Amino acid sequence: MAGGLVSEALQEVEGLLPPGVVLEKGPEAPLAAPEGPLDSLGIVNLVAAAEEAAAHRGIGPLGLMEALSLPLEESPFRSVRTLEAWVEAALAGKA
């Protein structure tokens, strides 16, 4: 479920990016700048899209807003894989 939720959020954010900016979706694809294409606004859009996707599935908050304050080395926004792992852990906590 985490993969589908993250994939949906990434697809929504990709539509907001400037022309020519590519958002890769492979597991090791970087998300946050400087390695990835998402600046702070892009990350906030990703948080909103993921939380909205969770709400539409009746899951509730994932806690991604709290993750915005983490240093990059601990951030779930380092890569698609780390974001999926964060979402999976959040979902496991709701079981």
Helices in the chain by DSSP H: which ranges?
A: 2-14, 40-56, 64-67, 80-93
If one compares 73 and 3, the residue with the highest pLDDT of the two is 73
Tell me the domain boundaries of the chain.
2-93
If one compares 72 and 39, the residue with the highest pLDDT of the two is 39
**Residues 69, 61: Cα–Cα separation, whole Å:** 17
Residue 31's nearest CA partner among 90, 73, 76 is 76
Task: Judge whether residue 87 has pLDDT over 50.
Answer: yes
What is the pLDDT, as a whole number, of residue 81?
97
Mean pLDDT of 6-28: 94
What is the pLDDT, as a whole number, of residue 86?
94
pTM of full prediction above 0.95:
no
Task: Judge whether residue 95 has pLDDT over 60.
Answer: no
Q: What is the pLDDT of residues 64-85, one digit of tens each?
A: 999 999 998 899 999 999 999 9
